[in-house]
Structure 1
Amino acid sequence: MSSTLIVLPKEFAYPVATAVSSFYLLLWQTIKVSRARKAAKVDYPQVYADKAEAAVNKAAFTFNCTQRAHQNTLEVLPVVLTGTLISGLKYPIAAAALSGAWVLARVVYTIGYSTGDPKKRNMFGAGAVGGLGLIGLIGLSTASVVSLLKAL
């Protein structure tokens, strides 16, 4: 039986730091959703204000937008975190840069979306920057895995 030693590059701390920054992003988004929920008077377990309520109540519509920004982040976060850590094994600086760009874009996305104007979710190109960060992490992860498999 053979054993394998995993040696992490010293720069691996950077992708790990950007991964941890996403925890703070989620915490901040959760607080924003909770405040918007309270202002809209949307009781648990209702995930969103219903369409009729959101049509007549600006606070309910804003809650839906804020909740959607958070939900969208949760939908893609597993890919971002996994991609950051996998690509960070081979390309730690690039992985940290792409992940950091994604997190910062998510902050701008959330600020814009939670204004209650869905079009503002892409202010300053947040959607494009976040999308490029995500696609970059997917590509870089693929390249990392191919490189690791070639070394076998």
Structure 2
Amino acid sequence: MVYEMSVPDQYGFVILACGVLPLFTNVYMSGSVMKARDSFDVKYPNLYGVPGVHKYADDFNRVQRGHQNYFEHLTHFTVISLIGGLKHPLTCAASGVLFCLGSVLYQKGYSDTSLKVETARYEKGGVVKWIGYFAALGSCVSMAGSIQQWW
């Protein structure tokens, strides 16, 4: 069976929020890592600071880890939001903004050495990332359910 669909009028918002905005989010978050490299004297090719080698290894690693976490979820987020946006474009566009904003807040919290490492990533609003992520996931599941013939 062939399933035909059209792209909704608001899909351009999905492309901007879930395809373009993450690029700018990455550039912003990368800037934080580069600044931390200079501040904490962690030179390339080290991806992370090495305890015992770098004086402020843990401080740098918190900044780097916040950025790395973004990459760990970005691919899945992009796929589910672009698919879910075919049925729920405004929801997925909003989820893209929330995911990017929440990722920046996650990194800011995780980087704050005055906070306990176990909870720091959520103390400055990092949970917003997951609201966007799960909204996109729900939209993607809804899209799958609307095109799948179950019997």
Scaled to the shorter chain, the TM-score interval is: 0.7 to 0.9
**What CA deviation, in whole Å up to 9, does each residue of 1:60-119 have, x standing for no partner?**
322111100110000000011111100100110111122211111112112222223433
- Spell out the pairing of 1:92-107 with structure 2 (5 A cutoff): 92-107=89-104
Q: CA deviation at 1:4?
A: 7.8
Partner of 1:73: 70
- Spell out the pairing of 1:61-140 with structure 2 (5 A cutoff): 61-116=58-113, 117=115, 118=117, 119-127=119-127, 129-140=128-139
Question: How many pairs are equivalent?
Answer: 146
How far apart, in 1, do the equivalents of 2:104 and 2:83 lie? 23
What is the one-letter code of the residue matched to 1:130? Answer: K
Q: CA deviation at 1:52?
A: 3.0
Considering fraction of residues, name the structure with more helix: 1
How far apart, in 2, do the equivalents of 1:144 and 1:92 lie? 11
Partner of 2:140: 141
The gaps in structure 1 that reach 5 residues or longer are none
How far apart, in 1, do the equivalents of 2:4 and 2:139 lie? 23
How far apart, in 2, do the equivalents of 1:66 and 1:53 lie? 17
What is the one-letter code of the residue matched to 1:14? Answer: F
Cα 1:43–1:125, aligned 2, differ >3 Å: closer, same or farther? closer
Partner of 1:40: 40
How far apart, in 2, do the equivalents of 1:141 and 1:6 lie? 15
Query: What TM-score do the two structures reach when normalised by structure 2?
Result: 0.84
Runs (4 or more) in structure 1 with deviation over 4 Å come to: 3-6
**What CA deviation, in whole Å up to 9, does each residue of 1:39-77 have, x standing for no partner?**
2221211111113346xx34x322111100110000000
Partner of 1:21: 21
How far apart, in 1, do the equivalents of 2:48 and 2:104 lie? 21
Classify the secondary structure of the residue corresponding to 1:9.
coil
Classify the secondary structure of the residue corresponding to 2:126.
helix
What is the one-letter code of the residue matched to 1:126? Answer: G
How far apart, in 2, do the equivalents of 1:17 and 1:88 lie? 12
The gaps in structure 2 that reach 5 residues or longer are none
How far apart, in 1, do the equivalents of 2:124 and 2:109 lie? 10
Q: Which moved more, 1:44-53 or 1:114-123?
A: 114-123
Cα 1:4–1:146, aligned 2, differ >3 Å: closer, same or farther? closer
